[in-house]
A and B are shown apart, each in its own frame.
Chain A
Amino acid sequence: MKQYTIPALLALLLAVLVFVSMTGAMNVYWQSVLMFMGINIILSSSLNIINGNMGEFSCGHAGFMAVGAYVSSVLSVLLFAEGSVFGEALLPPHLAVFLFPFILVAGGVAASLVGLLVAVPSFRTRGDYLAIITIAAAYIVKSTIENINAIGGARGFMGMSKVTAAMNTTAELPWMIIWVFLGTVFSVWLIRRFIFSTLGNGVNAVCQDEIAAEIMSVNTNQVKMTAFMVSCGLAGIAGALFAHVLGYVNPGSFTILKSTEVMVMVYLGGMGSLSGSVLSAILITLLMEALRPLQIIKWIVIPLLLVLLMQFRPEGIMGNRELANIFPGLKKFYRLKG
């Protein structure tokens, strides 16, 4: 029975969230904060694969997020919304709910294919040079989007709110909360399975010593490629959710600042700790909301926080430990012994 505890708790949490949003016990502001929390959890735990477990330094995560956001937005608007860009909706609106997961996945797949831009050079280069390549890839994505006038260029792209409205024709539920919740649970589950698999051990081995890993028959190229593609794909899913939550995307929201935000979450949580990156995503989201009235000062406080962190506790909140290492009592609820 114990192995079903966590799924049961998650289902209960989802039910509670849906209920309080339906009855209006939780206002719209807190709903959006919760949704951004979920999106940030996906982003930080996916970047944690590259920056934490693999020990690389990718600072272009927002670029892959942008790919997912745009691909999924264009798809969903094309299929379910009447817009000035694509004209009539291709499919009846009651299908929106059933096809939306596929749209999210399509965004993720597109992002993981763009992730090849970084994954292929990573076979030959490491460290600083790879960091440069990730930055360049993010810039390439951003300026490509800005140059495609069909999807609004630098002005941005809208119409996704119509799609979320179309979902309500099937059933009156807070759909975006449900999708973000499911997406977050799916991502964390996937990353957990990935990290504790043989391939995931390979990722940790590449971080420790690439040459030794190669000698011990780890196929390093395959490991790097999988890690990058999983990470970028999940960033794409996060971007897709982000676009549909806001109902509007703009290339300006995927700058180096966004990447930095995600990096802060990873390093605050602890490199290579999945539960750490989830915890710190929750903390940073709340901190961001608390600092919102400060506007520009926010961007002095957050980097300063990270600088101080690097000086006094560079291993972050959790170090490279998981929750189960700190509270061994939790282990009996896992099917998978980490």
Chain B
Amino acid sequence: MLQSFIQNIFNALQWGSFYSLIALGYCLVYGVLLLINFAHGDIFMVGAYIAFYVCMLFLGKFGIIPGMPGWLVLALAVPLTMMLTAVVGVTLERVAYRPLRRKGVNRLYVVITALMCGLILEHANLALLGASRRSFPTLIPTTVYNIAGVNITNVKLGVILVAVLAFFFLRFVVVKTKIGMAMRAISYDRFAVPLMGIPADSVIVFTFVLGSGFAGLAGLLFAVTYPVLDPYMGALIGWKAFIAAVVGGIGSIRGAFAGGFLLGFVEIMVVAFFPSTLRDLIAFTILLLILSVKPTGLFGVARRTKI
């Protein structure tokens, strides 16, 4: 009983890690722009596909060393995937969001554009690459550590570790660095920031780089853990991660992280005790309940509106 419980806790930590990594990206963009970047889940999907092609490139004829070892491929794939996914995210911002921001239109139009961009990414992927699922190559042979009856794989540990490191890294960037201060300034007062000589657009691009980069990292880890890719994989996970970010309190990094892990725990525990088809139902119901009790989320701060 206790063993299976601890086993489930580890599964939940791993599952929550994915949610947290995606929720962090949502949270950054929302914090700075007050924009729900609905395409973020699909950027995660694109990240997984980019990771797949990068790895195929290295494992194929183009490997720098013939017969590259898996760990080296992974080590090269992580920064490359993050960079390329960041490029996708920034392109989206440049092409779709920035013109709208310049015009100063209603926020709703930007949200709709984001939603549609997500759909375009999904279906462009379907149209270009076909609907056949791709299986991700095994880079690192899975080793199972059995500690007192609890099975922990090295991949699981890696994923949890990366999520925690990403959290501390982002927290460091937002709290301690100059550009982080600029990000917080933009979310605090959009009008005063350009007057202080801060290039708002570059800060926004940097935000998208960070958010999309971590979505790419999440995509890579997801592909390593569950080596089957399909174009719709980002949609549901993206929605859920966003709801997790909202439950944590959107606009606070701690909240996004906590919300992601909370949702991971809820889902894994539901699967452990109920039929697995009830997973989404119970998860969404719990989230709705939390939101109706605390509309600003667990860590969120209620914004005062001046009349």
Q: Are A132 and B243 in contact (CB under 8 A)?
A: yes
Task: Give CA–CA (A147, B284) in the complex, Å.
Answer: 14
* Complex interface bits, B237-273 against A, C-beta within 8 A gives 1, otherwise 0: 0010011001000100000000000000000000000
Which among A59, A146, A211 is the interface contact of B277 at CB below 8 angstroms? Answer: A146
Contact with A along B165-183 (1 / 0, CB 8 A): 0000000000000000000
Q: CB-CB < 8 A to B111: which residues of A?
A: 57, 128, 131
* Contact between chains at B127 and A267 (CB < 8 Å): no
Query: Using a Cβ–Cβ cut-off of 8 Å, how many residues does chain B contribute to the interface with A?
Result: 42
* A-B contacts, CB under 8 A, total: 107
Chain A residue numbers with a CB within 8 Å of B291 are: 121, 125, 129, 132-133, 136
The interface centre, meaning the residue of A143, A257, A303 with most chain B CB atoms within 10 A of its CB, is: A303
User: Does A314 sit within 8 A of B, measured CB to CB?
Assistant: yes
* Interface residue SS majority, chain B: helix
The reply to whether A59 and B115 form a contact with Cβ atoms under 8 Å apart is: yes
Q: Are B288 and A133 in touch, CB under 8 angstroms?
A: yes
CA distance A121 to B293 in the complex (A): 9
Would you give the shortest CB distance from A262 to chain B, in whole angstroms? 12
Of the residues B106, B120, B122, B250, contact of A304 by C-beta under 8 Å: B120
* B100 contacts A311, C-beta separation under 8 Å: yes
A10 interface residue per 8 A CB criterion: no
A306 and B280 in contact, given A125-B291, A137-B288 (Cβ under 8 angstroms): no
Residues of A within 8 A of B68 (CB): none
Kindly identify, within residues 213 to 250 of chain B, every residue whose CB is under 8 Å from any CB belonging to chain A.
Answer: 235, 239, 242-243, 246, 250
Complex contact A296–B123 (CB within 8 A): yes
Decide if B148 is an interface residue (CB 8 Å cutoff): no
With CB as the reference atom, state the residue of chain A lying closest to B231. A296
**A260–B119 CB distance below 8 A:** yes
Task: Tell me the nearest residue of chain A to B111, going by C-beta.
Answer: A57
Docked pose: A125 CA to B235 CA in angstroms: 24
Against B, the Cβ 8 Å flags (1 = close, 0 = not) of A112-128 are 00000100110011001
10 more A-B residue pairs beyond the given contacts A299-B123, A300-B120, A314-B106, with a C-beta to C-beta distance below 8 A? A57-B108, A121-B288, A136-B284, A140-B281, A303-B119, A303-B120, A303-B123, A304-B116, A304-B120, A310-B110
